[in-house]
Structure 1
Amino acid sequence: MGIQGDHGAALPPPPPIHAGVVPRRCPMNRNDFGSKGQKVQLLTNHFQVRMARSDCHFYQYSVEMAYEDGTAVDAKGVGRGVIDKLHETYKTELGGKQIAYDGESTLFTLGALPRNKLQFTVVLGEQQRSGKAGNPGSPEDNEDPNTGERKRLRRPQRSKTYTVDVSYATKIPLQAITNALRGQDSEHYQEAVRVLDVVLRQHAARRGCLLVRQSFFRNEPKNFFDIGGGVLGCRGFHSSFRATQGGLSLNIDVSTTMIVQPGPVMDFLVSNQNVPHPDQIDWVKAKRMLKNLRITTKTSNLEFKITGLSDKICRDQIFELRQRNGDGQHQSVEITVHDYFVQHHNISLRYSSKYPCINVGRPKRPSYFPIEMCDLVSLQRYTKSLSGHQRASLVEKSRQKPQERMRVLTDALRASNYAADQMLIASGINISIEFAQVEGRILPAPQLKVGSGQDLVPRRGRWNFNNKGLFEPVEALDRWVIVNFSARVDMNMLSRDIVKCGQRKGMKIRDPFKVFQENHQDRRLPAPRRVENMMDSVKNGLPGPPQLILCVLPDRKICDIYGPWKRKALAEIGLVTQCISPQKLNDQYLTNVLLKINAKLGGLNSVLSIEHARNIPFVSEAPTLIIGMDVSNGSPGRTDVPSIAAVVSSRGWPLISRYRASVRTQSPKVEIIDGLFKPDPETNTDDGMIRESLLDFFKSSNKRKPENIIIFRDGVSESQFSQVLNIELDQIKEACKFLEENWNPKFTLVVAQKNHHTKFFQRNSPDNVEPGTVVDNGICHPKNNDFYMCAHAGMIGTTRPTHYQVLIDEIGFSGGDLQDLVHSLSYVYQRSTTAISVVAPVCYAHLAASQVAQFMKFDEFSDTSSSHGGVTSVGSASIPQLPRLHPNVSSSMFFC
């Protein structure tokens, strides 16, 4: 029986998504290695770790800290200082053991402490709590900045006393690492490696570094660069231990984070809000931005945490000042913050009297400082989302050529001086300072087919259409129009050049039916209204719907018109559109535009020769569906913005170059996709994304259902592999059975990871590795089936390979055949004439999620209600739903 749409047995919903799913399947073991390609010797930023002993155990202990009165301590503020002092004071009681502390509630020792439960009293001086040695705290000044009361504390009384309880939790054998390196199942491997990572974090903390997960950042001017808006990029280093075929290695790479520009608070706010003068600062935004940042003041070198801003400006903000009268008794008088600092501290305030004060106190007892007296301390992370300009600047200034990156990494490893760390010495751990050597292979570029059946061989991962036509151009583009939101583009020149360029590529393009210019009065309207007015003009000015609308945007980057325009065209009307904002009209720019247009209208720009000849192992032999899946999460810090899940699937088998997409919203920050299979028992239907893919494949592939399904999953970490196998793959299988109960296609599931820190370098060459470079030995997993692929030519900076991890392979690919398929899928990306860094289905899934996300402004959904496509409840959260694509464009490459 063939695929029958919505008919089939009703099935229960897929299993719930949560972190505690019991793993049922694990990633598959490696079956063999690839052999195709020219061998090449490479260096990689993995450094060999020698383990002199593996017969010992790490002992894990829970740590609880409290003040003298029993109040629990927030260890993040002072924990490292307390534990360092404890270790210094109680060496004998600790049995002389070295310790590694994670900064929160756990410490590790090599060998057991004398007793399972220990209690210590630790006295920590003010300077030790203030973060001067890389341990940020929130000390109080010895004078309240507003009341003026001297606390009159002598030096010994300015110390604080802590009670620290240490309790045995478990022991972790170092042998677990050795077992994992042998390819054996190792129950405690992750815990043992975590201990070593904690040792490196502690080592960095003692050197005054900012710690961000497994990256370390030092407070050195050479590490900072300005990206605008009061934000600095800060270069640091990532380090993590990895089990590889060559043994345990330490992967070290350059890392970058964003920090707040240190210095005067007012200078930061002016730069952050991009205003010419402090009088134009939006103080509501400023309050949100400054909350929880740390400052020092002109009257003290101690640090304070900002809790807010005063309600009134400095010269009007009143507080009660307690002072002694002539009889020695205390009395309270009202005074403004401005007058207090002028009269009692003899500080002349130049400008801040007319601005709010910085509040560093508690809600019921505020403490104010005039803003000009406050300086932001260094190495404070900036966690807000970046503007387009800031992102571009960050990327540009973070780039490093391969040789420069190697030099920086070598210097960093030497400067880290891990050989002197007492915990590493006690553990018998020795870290090499030489880059590991691995053998790579350079796969030959796949041959392409273009117009008139011509063969085209890419050179260094690139090709062009000079004097060549498109493989399958759209039959005729004679009903198209231009809409112009820009005042600076010559429409006559644009339309003429597009027609000429298209004709040279084999596209039969006539002059546009009409050019619609935006009314000058409309340019002051909100973006959705501008789009509505323009679409009304198009409807009223044409006898019928056009094949294509070319939309000229007013800005170079995606502007506020883009989202409403795409929503209107793709979801409501069902029209293919192409947005442009040309700075220069040249042949290369227009060719790139036409590549996108041709793909969106159903054409193909090029295909693989082996695809055309039906000569791809397994894929060409039986109907094969190729799927790319990705989840796009909202901006950092936004928990009210839904995540966007996209599934892109191939169509028109035996082709593997044409795709369509399904997109859904889901709970914020949830990486596992929950919309693959969505059965409704009442209507006996499935509204999941996989059903759409299966039905479209059946319809576009001569009514053949897929016997093989190859899935490329982007954006998941190794800790989520079991959920991908046991939740997502189960949903896909259930979707298949819902359509036909006895249908059991074979699956191959591959995770594509870009978010890792492995790099490759050519020996004695300043250039990046060659496109097509694959590595499946040396630094790959000792047991699992994985490989690294540099399919593209890295023109700028250092090439980042994609790490492919094969979780399941029921189809039965050899290692070489699967690597060839991955390499080939990097050449079917219809938007460009270069090989891309990850397989095209994954790139398309990312594009589809990003573009459809522009349909809605999620800021409007923080109150969980909206008119944009409805709201669906998931648990206790309400998820705004994306409007579905119009049937006219739902199977098109609208995302291209």
Structure 2
Amino acid sequence: MPRRRKTPRELEESDRAQALVEAQNSAPAEAGETEGSAPSARSSAPGLKRTPASASGPSGSAAPSPGPVALPVPVQNADPQPAERQGHGQAHSQNVGEGGQGQCSVQPQGQGQESGQGQGSGQGRDESSSGGPPGRGRGMCGGERGSGRRGGRGRFNQGPPHSTLHQNVPGSFSPHREQYRGQNGHDYYEMQNQGYSSPMYGRPSRPFQQPIPPAPRPLPQGGRGPSYPGQAYGRGGGPPAHFSASPPSYGPGVGAVVEQFGSVVLGGVGHSSNVGQISEPHVSKYEQPSTPPPISSKQLRFPLRPDRGRIGQWCIVKANHFFAEPPDKDLHQYDVTITPEVPSRGINRAVMEQLVKLYRESHLGTRLPAYDGRKSLYTAGPLPFQSKEFEIRLLDEDDGTNQPRRERPFKVVIKFAARADLDHLRRFLLGRQADAPQEVLQVLDIVLRELPTHRYSPVGRSFYSPNLGTRQPLGDGLESWRGFYQSIRPTQMGLSLNIDMSSTAFIEPKTVMEFIGDLLNKDVTRGLSDADRMKIKKALRGVKVEVTHRGSMRRKYRISGLTNQATNELEFPVDDNGTLKSVTDYFRETYGYVIRHPSLPCLQVGNAQRPNYLPMEVCKIVEGQRYSKRLNERQITALLKVTCQRPRDREHAIMNTVHHNAYHQDPYAQEFGIRISNELAQVEARVLPAPRLKYHDTGREKECLPQVGQWNMMNKKMVNGGIVNNWACINFSRNVQENVAKSFCQELAQMCQTSGMQFTRDPVVPLQYYHPDNYDRALIHLCDDVYKKTKGKSLDLLIAILPDNNGPLYGDLKKQCETVLGVVSQCCLTKHVFKMSKQYLANVALKINVKVGGRNTVLVDALSRKIPLVSDIPTIIFGADVTHPHPGEDFSPSIAAVVASQDWPEVTKYAGLVCAQAHRQELIQDLYKEWKDPQKGLMTGGMIKELLISFWRATGQKPLRIIFYRDGVSEGQFYQVLLFELDAIRKACASLEPDYQPPVTFVVVQKRHHTRLFANNHNDNRSTDRSGNILPGTVVDSKICHPTEFDFYLCSHAGIQGTSRPAHYHVLWDENKFSADSLQSLTNNLCYTYARCTRSVSIVPPAYYAHLAAFRARFYMDPEASDTGSLTSGMGGANRSQYTGSATSRTNRVVGGNAVRPLPPLKENVKRVMFYC
């Protein structure tokens, strides 16, 4: 075949590459370095600051690093017939070997083949050669088909050895293969799960290259992704030229790659791998961000809004935001010192209230100040002094007696501190100032909270009162109070007051005896067990009570504990001589009160040094105390029923709250000149179109267009059905007879087959019943039976039938399966087994499919490569979340979870990792880790690095773009989380290759906000769904959004009951230059790919999956040790050593001064699939 003449640019690049490699091979190794490990300046840089790569760039001004040594890649069952490459277009690649150089000139035209020749001595062979002598090599690069530019237009087929490329083949369904359809509608790529290493989803493995670092290039502007000069693919999405055109067979093992990623080098050295690769040794194709990340929050500026979205059908919605006109008076801050110092905000407020009452007209110059309850006082205009001291006497509460109340003296010092800059606020609201004036916003928030704080019970930013709605019992001595949330926010329309309805749990004001009777659901006069005592102590600790045995004198106390002895056994000293008197005698002699339940313990209301004892029967709980501890399932259900309101009703309640608060009559708002509108904000919105979903071609419906956020599986088959050959069922419910369980399993197997899975009808071992207390022995015994029956094979799936009220059984079973046995499981409750509805079975089949490695559906646009900034180059999408312990669990670790997409361009499968970290630590500590190994020296790892490797193993490609969805971050943590976690992402990438820095987009996903969107006309059925909520896909990026930064509200789901809560997405970092339309459409479309149901979901699936994974990992902790931060693997008993792995060798890790024992590690086969679904 005639060879094309090189262009001047190609000749220049080839000469530069040759010179660089020759210089690299001739440079001596630096002291302390070993061959194969090039030094990285970026790994030692502090914070997020990255050093430029010009020191090792093409100029060669700095001493280059030594050339790495390529390890031989073992090949098994090498394909003697390399695949052909078809298509149009041209590409060049050049390889340099030891002692010579080789060149591969690629000229695919029509049905032409690719060939490569190598010249030189020694080991110089072309990387793309499949054979040949050392001096010359000629081979064909296989694995691509397409039309247009290389890699095809909309499709790039990448075939491993033993892969079969079909043309004009009808869509026959093969569950054990992964199939990809091209744009022409006929070509398929079928990858069989055999003949090559498949550590992740049956994909081939191949190590990252370690290319010579390039000089940095600025990131392209205009919202487009990075371009790669010399790339061998166009829109079709094939890999750049320095990537392999075809995955190899049997790359290095997982451990070798993870421990020393750069030790296996496929580019820049002339070692032949016999896998049909094309390599360019001279330059890396990674785009460097245009500016290095900041190292502190002072340097950090969140991305500005690139534009406003235009895609979708335009509409008007109402938001629960009320325009607030900013003050027209100067704001002054004063420091307040109250002595003696008291920790109670209530007492501080009472002192300041008395001060204002006495001295407002005189010393305060008629000013009405706003007080934060601690150290700061704010006024509209200056006070007539710089510093002044006041004497205040506060009377104790009236105890109902005729005796004079005790006076408590306080000294209050008020001293001028600062003057707020309102011009900064005005410029910020107009978009002329980048940073928000947080101090001014905090002052305005305090001013508007002052009057509600006096009227109601404040809890956080909410206010509650029994007069704002009907109290509803929640059970166990609790009741719900209605209230409202209030917060001042800067928006595009100016300042807005966000008001929403809320409910929370309060302790019922009843006697302690009645409370513990409701709590324990028993007659407490018959005695208490040790478990009862612990439950009472936990529920009443910190609760304020008043005594009832002294007539109208109702003195109040706070409970600190519960006595171990009964009341009739308690004695205490009554004088300095140590004379003891029993509690029963004291009450009889002093108050004439005879204890009726002397066998019950007493409440302890003093400290350990001076304890005071009160019998339970003489105490009553004071009204208005919020219950801050964990609610049980029944209480949560009851509270949800109270808070669940249809959109029309919620809007009406919000408007009533605004009118009831009467902000125009608020004396504090009038004092500071703040005016609040009485009307809901009307906001422009758009309804984004739903994406088309792809199902398997063997089904009647090959594609589906969801309607109002919903669709079903009728006449459809999963796009990639999983394989379940060996499965078993174990029954822990005594109410389910064997014949019922067998019938259920048969129906479930039939549903899985109908849905498109390859599911064996009969279990590999007979169904057996076990008592829930023996779950661990039962699981191990079952796995042993399967191992013997299948002659060494393991379970693909375990189906477990559980009692409806199974307590800790579900979590214990998941922990045993996923961290000890390495088995994915599907649990089914007894009530569903008996009902056996088709809808339930279909939903379970969806979950099973993704747990065994299948895919339920993919976006049509993903297959046709039409997703902006995802389909053009290999893109990995992360989701991350941290779940914290429930209130009252003071020492339990927080759980962090990170998931990452493992299929590109489909972005449907997500692998997940979890870790435990310090109590209430929001920053994910294990994103990147460094440690020293005695033999290997400095080692690197972490969740980001492992998931990047996992993506590469699953797809055969390195991610060239990162999109990171982070859930659970409040606005006050934005800077801290971004600085820490973006730095971890950078370090993880650099640990794989020194110059590997793909552009990152970091997006925070918020659901715990109080913005609600309502239809402009509730009677218009065209603008609402069946629940009365706004249509799924409704997006708002104006008026109520941030004045300058890149954020938007997206209601991506259809409402079921209550009022839909839109998700708030805030972009904190964007090196990929997303436009508003591209990010909003991507996020909305991904919400239709959630694996567990045929509905669009409320938050983007990566963040949703991370939340599920973190919630699952909490089951891995030992419940008895969780309060002390100790986590165990839960293994014990005989015959378990074969399943323990390395779980017993874990050591504690000190984080923030607290020892946190790592979670038991997930088994490798579990972490590769979506086990958390």
TM-score (normalised: structure 2): 0.69
Spell out, residue by residue over 1:237-267, the C-alpha distance to the aligned partner (whole angstroms, 9 max, x if none): 1100011111111000112222222211111
Whether the 8 Å contact between 1:487 and 1:554 is mirrored in structure 2 is no
Q: 1:362 to 1:890 in 2, by over 3 A?
A: closer
Contact 1:648 1:659 in 2 (8 A): yes
Label 1:333 to 1:176 Cα distance change in 2 as closer, same or farther (>3 A). same
Q: Structure 1 residues 331 and 280, CA, compared in 2 at 3 Å: closer, same or farther?
A: closer
The answer as to 2:445 corresponding to 1:197 is yes
Equivalent residues of 1:270, 1:277 under 8 A apart: yes
* Residue type of the alignment partner of 2:393: V
1:488 is matched with which residue? 735
Deviation track 1:406-457 (CA, whole Å, cap 9, x = no partner) reads 1111111111122222221121111112111101111111111112171111
Which of residues 494, 502, 507 in structure 1 aligns to 2:757?
Answer: 507
Give the corresponding residue for 2:992: 739
**Aligned partners of 1:225, 1:746: CA distance in 2, in Å?**
52
- In the alignment, the residues of structure 2 paired with residue 736 and residue 790 of structure 1 have an alpha-carbon distance, to the nearest angstrom, of 34
Partner of 2:684: 439
> Partner residue of 1:84?
353
**Residue aligning to 1:626:** 877
| Counterpart contact for 2:434–2:1044, Cα < 8 Å | no
CA distance change for structure 1 residues 416 and 528 in 2, over 3 Å: closer, same or farther?
A: farther
User: Matches of 1:29 and 1:297 in 2, distance apart?
Assistant: 59
Deviations 1:206-226 (A, max 9, x none): 11x111111111133834322
Tell me what 1:817 maps to: 1078
**2:1135 is aligned with 1:885:** no
CA distance in 2 between partners of 1:307 and 1:528 (Å): 39
Counterpart Cα distance in 2 of 1:214 and 1:668: 23
Please give the per-residue CA displacement for 1:822-852, whole angstroms capped at 9, x wherever unaligned: 0001011111100000011111111111112
**Which residue is equivalent to 1:691?**
945
Q: 1:317 aligns with which of 566, 570, 576?
A: 570
The 5 A counterparts of 1:444-463 are 444-452=689-697, 454-463=702-711
Give the partner amino acid of 1:272.
Answer: L
Q: Which residue of 2 aligns with 1:778?
A: 1039
1:337 aligns with 583
Once residues 618 and 765 of structure 2 are traced to their aligned partners in structure 1, the CA distance between those partners, rounded to angstroms, is 58
Aligned to 2:840: 589
Corresponding residue for residue 134 of structure 1 = none
1:598-639 deviation line (CA, Å, top 9, x unaligned): 111121111111012111112111111111111111122323
Show the counterpart of 2:303.
28
2:808 counterpart residue number? 560
Q: Report Cα offsets for 1:49-95 as digits up to 9, x if no partner.
A: 12361xx32222222222xxxx4323424111111000011121112
Distance 1:648 1:514 in 2: 32
2:1150 corresponds to which residue?
873
What is the rounded CA distance, in whole Å, between the counterparts of 1:44 and 1:866 in structure 2? Answer: 45
Q: CA distance change for structure 1 residues 685 and 760 in 2, over 3 Å: closer, same or farther?
A: same
| Alpha-carbon distance between aligned partners in 2 of 1:292 and 1:776, rounded to the nearest angstrom | 45
1:723-802 to structure 2, matched below 5 A, reads 723-765=976-1018, 767-802=1028-1063
Distance 1:335 1:679, change over 3 A: closer
**Structure with greater strand share of residues:** 1
Q: Is 2:504 the partner of 1:251?
A: no
Q: Which moved more, 1:500-509 or 1:432-441?
A: 500-509
Indicate conservation of the 8 Å contact 1:672/1:728, yes or no: yes
Which of 303, 307, 320 matches 2:556? Answer: 303
Matches within 5 A, 1:64-213: 64-66=337-339, 71-91=340-360, 92-127=362-397, 155=404, 158-185=406-433, 189-207=437-455, 209-213=456-460
1:293 partnered with 2:543: yes
Q: Displacement of 1:481 after TM fit?
A: 1.1
> What number of residue pairs does the alignment pair up?
848
Q: In 2, are the aligned partners of 1:313 and 1:357 still within 8 Å (CA)?
A: yes
Q: CA deviation at 1:643?
A: 1.3
Are the counterparts in 1 of residues 1127 and 1158 from structure 2 also a CA contact under 8 Å? no
Contact 1:483–1:549 (8 Å) recurs in 2: no
Alignment match, 1:842: 1103
The 2-side partners of 1:662 and 1:567 are apart by 14
Q: Which amino acid aligns with 2:863?
A: H
1:556-575 deviation per Cα after TM superposition (whole angstroms, max 9, x unaligned): 36742233322332223322
Q: Counterpart in 2 of 1:275?
A: 522
The answer for the alignment partner of 1:136 in structure 2 is: none
Note if contact 2:892-2:1125 (Cα within 8 Å) is conserved in structure 1: no
Return the structure number with greater relative CO, CA threshold 8 A, min gap 6: 1
Contact residue 563 and residue 856 of structure 1 kept, 8 A: no
* C-alpha contact (below 8 Å) 1:49/1:431 kept by paired residues: yes
Bigger shift: residues 799-808 or 876-885: 876-885
SS for the counterpart of 1:859 is: coil
Amino acid at match of 2:583: V
Q: Describe how 1:505-654 pairs up with structure 2 within 5 A.
A: 505-514=755-764, 522-525=771-774, 528-529=776-777, 531-536=779-784, 538-539=786-787, 542-556=790-804, 559-583=807-831, 584-654=835-905
Deviation at 1:515, TM superposition (A): 5.2
Going from structure 1 to structure 2, the CA distance change for 1:13 and 1:293 (only over 3 Å counts) comes to farther
Matches of 2:1096 and 2:1127 in 1, distance apart?
A: 41
- 2:980 maps to 1:710: no
Superposed CA RMSD in Å reads 2.7
After superposition, give the CA deviation of every residue in 1:367-410 in whole Å (9 maximum; x if it has no partner).
Answer: 43331221111221212222223223322332111111111111
- After alignment, is 300-309 or 848-857 more displaced? 300-309
SS across alignment from 1:220: coil
**1:535 Cα deviation from its structure 2 partner:** 4.4
Higher deviation after alignment, 764-773 or 181-190? 181-190
Distance across 2 between alignment mates of 1:216 and 1:547: 54
Q: Look up the match of 1:60.
A: 333
**Whole-Å Cα distance in 1 between the matches of residues 880 and 840 of structure 2?**
29
Task: Determine if contact 2:428/2:434 at 8 Å carries over to the other structure.
Answer: yes
Quote the offset at 1:275 in angstroms.
3.3
Asked if the contact 1:177–1:186 (Cα under 8 Å) also holds between the matched residues in 2, the reply is: no
d(CA) in 2 for partners of 1:798, 1:550: 38
Q: Determine the structure 1 residue equivalent to 2:463.
A: 216
SS in 1 for 2:987: helix
**What is residue 466 of structure 1 aligned with on the other side?**
714
Q: Is the 8 A contact 1:223 1:236 kept in 2?
A: no
Give CA deviations for 1:302-356 in whole Å, capped at 9, x if unaligned: 422223334533334344668xxxxxxx99986543344445444465x433212
Letter in 1 for 2:584: H
**Amino acid aligned to 1:715:** G
* Cα distance per residue 1:269-294 (max 9 Å; x no partner): 12223334443542233233222211
Q: Rg bigger for which structure?
A: 2
- Secondary structure at 1:469 match in 2: coil
* More moved, 361-370 vs 744-753: 361-370
CA spacing shift, 1:544–1:585, aligned 2, 3 Å: farther
TM-score where L is the length of structure 1: 0.90
Q: Secondary structure at the match of 1:564?
A: helix
| Range moving further from structure 2, 711-720 or 294-303 | 294-303
The 1:187/1:481 distance shift into structure 2, 3 A limit, reads: closer
Name the residue aligned to 2:254: none
Give, in whole Å, the separation in 2 of the partners of 1:551 and 1:27.
48
| Cα separation, 2, equivalents of 1:580 and 1:7 | 51
The one-letter code sitting in structure 2 at the alignment partner of 1:399 is C
